[in-house]
Amino acid sequence: MKQRLLYIFLILLQAGMASAQVTYFADLLGKGFKQATIVQPPDYEGSVTCTIVRKTTPEKSAKSVLYVHGFNDYFFQEEMAERYLKEGFNFYAIDLRKSGRSWLSHQKFNNVRELSEYYADIDTALAIIKGEGNEKVLLSGHSLGGLVISLYASERLGKEKFDAVLLNSPLFALNIRSGIKKTALPLLIKRAEKHPETNFDLGLNPLYGESLHITAHGEWSYSLGLKPFIAPPVNLGWIRAVYNGQERVSQGIQIDKPVLVLHSAKSIDEKKWSDIFFTGDAILNVDEVARQAQNIVGQYSIQAVQGGMHDLVLSKQPVRDEVYSTIFNWAKRTVK
């Protein structure tokens, strides 16, 4: 009964958001980007917010994109936004709860126990986008965001407020050795059922972050406070949430809108810095991503990008030009 009342409350809240005036302020990116903080119902850590970032086209447009970031991440990709604006898309991004602009001091970064906790943030963002006159919406997600929006799209069958789904290196499989996956991972998942708040260090390679940031080897400027080279330890509840989400994908998910899955053509596993980091995905097993993507039931296309990094739109210039060409050629057919 309590769950039903909460569901009704969320629906009413989202309906209100669609018609209510959202107050935007100047975003930390400047350059015409605006942000709005959305207060969500509290959870097991207390108060919760998400953040909408927006930049609209110079001439009025009724089509838009909503971008959902990955793990240890937030929206900072100004070039990506400008590419969409040039193609006539109003640009929106969301910093999900407990990430980026939406993190609150009493919260642990990235702390969710079910990926469905993010659905309220996406529902609210889409309601706002529709309420601002956008008739067509491309729903786009990177890495963890790609996994989340895939599951979200399958949960919103027949009630979609979006018209196509773009997945940029979706987190469809943890990049861990098969032996660990068969032995240690099940034990962690079991322990997470009773002890979701237990810390766990993922041991991610900081060299991927260094391959991106302008202060190290990369070309991109962003906040290392919001996207550090070494991600903070997660809770076991987060590992269980991601594992359960990936298991759902492996069992098959139906998405009734066109889906484009993009991933790098190869994975890399370097222990020391070299320019090889600019040529492949240092986070995911791309073969597993491609295999799991075939469990989507619906109209989908899977394409490997030669020389693509984990976040394909942060790859070297010629590669990301190819990525954008692929995206917009596809979008012209699916988001009309």
Residue 89 and residue 64 in contact, taking contact as beta carbons nearer than 8 Å: yes
Lowest mean pLDDT segment, chosen from 160-169, 195-204, 298-307: 195-204
Query: In angstroms, how far is the first alpha carbon of the chain from the final one?
Result: 41
Q: What is the pLDDT of residues 21-72, one digit of tens each?
A: 789 999 999 999 999 999 999 999 999 999 999 999 999 999 999 999 999 9
Q: What is the pLDDT of residues 261-295, one digit of tens each?
A: 999 999 999 999 999 999 999 999 999 999 999 99
| Segments forming the whole domain that contains residue 269 | 2-334
**Could you give the C-alpha distances from 1 to 4, 5, 6, 7, 145, in angstroms and in order?**
5, 6, 9, 10, 30
SS3 content of the chain, % helix, strand, coil (to 5): 40, 20, 40
Give the whole-angstrom CA distance, residue 259 versus residue 296: 9
Maximum separation of any 2 CA atoms in the chain, in Å:
56
Number of domains into which the chain is organized: 1
DSSP string, 151-209: HHHHHTTT--S-SEEEEES---S----HHHHHTHHHHHHHHHHH-TT-EE-----THHH
Give the whole-angstrom CA distance, residue 218 versus residue 210: 6
pTM reported for the whole predicted model:
0.93
Lowest mean pLDDT segment, chosen from 109-123, 128-142, 161-175, 182-196: 182-196
**For residue 185, what is the domain's CATH number?**
3.40.50.1820
Residue 201 and residue 188 in contact, taking contact as beta carbons nearer than 8 Å: no
Give the whole-angstrom CA distance, residue 94 versus residue 68: 6
Give the whole-angstrom CA distance, residue 14 versus residue 10: 6
Q: For residue 168, what are its two tokens? A: 């940029």
Q: What is the pLDDT of residues 189-207, one digit of tens each?
A: 999 999 999 999 888 889 9
Give the whole-angstrom CA distance, residue 62 versus residue 237: 39
